[in-house]
Structure formats: structure tokens, C-alpha cells
Structure 1
């Protein structure tokens, strides 16, 4: 297991809701368009497993993107994520609304993003996480930087941090199969 900073573990222990930006966080940030104008995205399978493990651990999940994206909506359904918000102008307001609906404060919210549109949510979150290749502005707001870049397992790194901090890893490993 990685050695996590004590202050990051303390923040991670309180988390009940995690919001993820999509482009540059769950994907490598490239936008792919077919000749028919349809969008394609590449998601890392380990990120999907991490999100599933968090959901099974009782941590609420949200995908929040400024883009209109049927692909993101499809991925959210596939992973059974209750909160999938596309074409979202204020990621902070979105996360605040979800947290309020859950009856929790922003200190119990983690947010993972990589660039300027994520900055307000990162600054307000109890735990701000960015991938290794995040823009310096986002990196400056982070409590923790993942070892891997966006779209290459960075979200799994964030999920593993939360699972470790909340003492869930041993039970997952003892079960030893897909939840």
C-alpha cells in the first residue's frame, strides 16, 4: 500500500460523497470525434472497478462534467452511479446540492478534477484530489496528487486512498472477487 500523508488520510476518513470530473480525470482528456460527429471516450477499467468498490462501501458517487455527453451518461449507468450531471456550468453548486440532499457538509465531500473548471469545487471540498497530469492551477488547490495521470488509473488511485483511509481494503481482499 502507498504511504499516504497523515493529513490526507484524516480528510479521507470523513468522505461520504465523491465527485469526479470526467475529461482529463476519468479520461486522458482527449476528445475523439467520428466523421459522423459522434463523441468517443476511453475509460480505464481499473477506474471503473474503483468506483464500484466505493459504491459498495457506501460512498455516494457523482460524475460532473461541463460537456453534453451521452457517453458519460452511458458510463454512469453502467457503473450504477446515481448522480451523473452533464452540461453542468457550476461543478461546485452541483456538489453542494448533492451534499445538501444527503445532509452532509462539504468537509465530507471529495472532488477530483484536473483544470480550471474544477477549481471552485476543488477549493471547497474536504478532500481535493488531482491526477498526476493536472494543470498547475488545479494542482495548487489539491490536498493530494495521484501517482497516475487522468485516464490511466488516477481515479482508481483516489478510490484506493479512500478505501484505505476508511479501513475497507482488508474486507475487499478477503472477499477476493468482483462485488
Structure 2
């Protein structure tokens, strides 16, 4: 049976996705549902979706570098990134655009070869220079209307996996990926 993608990818989005060599994700509202959880003692906790984690690993396994750029600093983010072998983790970034430029320069690539996935206003500057700007389903309307593509799933509920699946399908790697699991 031939691979059939579970969503339609518009031709212009597929064209952009074919060039992606770096997938960059915001955290709060993108890799999580956006809620901040604090324990009684003040420790912060976060909930990450296992589907998103597998999607990020699959991107890495297929030659797409993965990075996190987030404005907040959170120990749970560092733990999750370590668990997923994400080497490029930038926390406390107030200027995500400058961080993306610096990262792509260090990786000897252009921001045009990156997808930036976000949900809120601080993500707009980085999204505006990336080759593929993606807003999660629960993104602020100003972000959604400026994205090249919008996920069906919300941040923290599989949106990152949906982005990973879309990129792999656009790059013609989905069938081989499916065959690997069968």
C-alpha cells in the first residue's frame, strides 16, 4: 500500500518544506499547550506530547536539524531537549529573529532553509525571515494570518508532529519512514 498523507499540503507549502534543513520550535503554546504550571514549592512543570517527541526524533533521523528558541527559561525544557537529543536549545531569547539568524549562520545555512513554528507575537520576527512559517492551530490570529501554513492540531497536542509529518511527506521521505516501522 502506498503512503497517503493524512492532510493535504498546498503546493506552495510543499515547495517551501522541500528546502527545510532546520526545524525550529517555540515552546510555550507550541510544544506545550501554553499553560504555565507551578508546584506548591514554586517549581515549574510542563507537559509535552509524546507524539511531538517522536516527530522531532524522526526529523533528526531524516537529516533535518531541530532547534528550540524560547523567550522563557525553564528546566523542564532543558530536560526534554536532552531526552530528544536536541543540541540547539536557546532559552531566554527576547529576540528570536536574531537568534535564528545566529543559529543558521553557525550551521552554514540560510533562514530560508528553516521552518519556524510558533503561536504568539514574540514568534513573528523569526517567522518573518524563515523559509516556512508555521502557526499552530491555537495561535494568535495575527500570527496565524502571517504564517505560510497552519496546523490542524493545537500546540502541546501533536502540532509539532503534524509539522514533522508534513515536512517528511514534502521531502519524499514519508514512505520510507512508514516502511521502516512496518
TM-score band by shorter chain is over 0.9
Structure 2 residue 30 is the aligned partner of structure 1 residue 25: yes
Instruction: Select the residue among 103, 120, 130 that pairs with 1:125.
Output: 130
Question: How far did residue 141 of structure 1 move?
Answer: 1.5
**Alpha-carbon separation, structure 1, partners of 2:129 and 2:74:** 25
2:168 corresponding residue in structure 1? 163
Alignment of 1:92-107 (within 5 A): 92-107=97-112
Structure 2 residue 20 is the aligned partner of structure 1 residue 15: yes
TM norm structure 1:
0.97
| Paired residues, number | 177
Question: How far did residue 98 of structure 1 move?
Answer: 1.1
TM norm structure 2:
0.95
Alignment of 1:69-148 (within 5 A): 69-148=74-153
**Alpha-carbon separation, structure 1, partners of 2:48 and 2:79:** 12
Question: How far did residue 63 of structure 1 move?
Answer: 0.8
Question: How far did residue 170 of structure 1 move?
Answer: 1.0
| Structure 1 residue ranges (4+ consecutive) displaced by more than 3 angstroms after TM superposition | none
SS at match of 1:54: helix
1:4 corresponding residue in structure 2? 9
The gaps in structure 1 that reach 5 residues or longer are none
Structure 2 residue 44 is the aligned partner of structure 1 residue 44: no
**Alpha-carbon separation, structure 1, partners of 2:154 and 2:179:** 29
The gaps in structure 2 that reach 5 residues or longer are none
Question: How far did residue 101 of structure 1 move?
Answer: 1.1
